[in-house]
Amino acid sequence: MAARVLAQVLVAGATVVFRAATQAWGQALVNAQKSGVASEAAQAAGSAAKKAGAMALQEAQMVLGVEQGAPWGEVVKRFKHLFDVNEKHGSFYLQSKVYRAKEALEDEYKRLGLYEELEAQQQQQQQQQADQQQQGKQ
């Protein structure tokens, strides 16, 4: 009989402790959301993941074989060559490296405000080439 009462007391005590712990955990989550800790932690995790996946600028220049400050046309030319060479019977890993290098340099050019100007120039050149081809067909 004493064992049964003792077991009931232990179960009741464990239930009370479990309920208190779950309520405390829930309140801690609410407090964290109110104070912005959760969003700060999410932002920190996101930026850490982005940094881990991003290629360094120097590494990107080395992969594509371009100098610092190289014209965007040279970057694109090297990218296309290396990407095409590794597309047919090459390595998907190397092809991915080349693509990530171009992305890293593209981000840097955008950050410096050079990419939009270069893209506009390329579009003008493409338009001129298309116009010349149209005139040649006529």
Residue 66's contacts (CB-CB under 8 Å, 6 or more residues apart) are 74, 75, 78, 105
pLDDT in tens, 70-95: 888 898 899 999 988 888 887 888 88
Q: What is the domain partition of the chain in residue ranges?
A: 2-52, 54-137
pLDDT tens-place string over residues 93-123: 888 999 999 999 988 888 887 766 667 777 7
The interaxial angle of helices 115-137 and 92-112, nearest 10 deg, is 110
pLDDT at 98: 92
CA-to-CA dists, residue 53 to 48, 70, 110, angstroms = 9, 24, 18
Give dist(CA 53, CA 51) in Å, integer: 5
Query: What tokens appear for 90 in the block?
Result: 């090459």
CATH of 54-137, one of 1.10.287.110, 3.90.1150.10, 3.40.50.300, 1.10.260.40: 1.10.287.110
Residue 39: its pLDDT value, please?
62
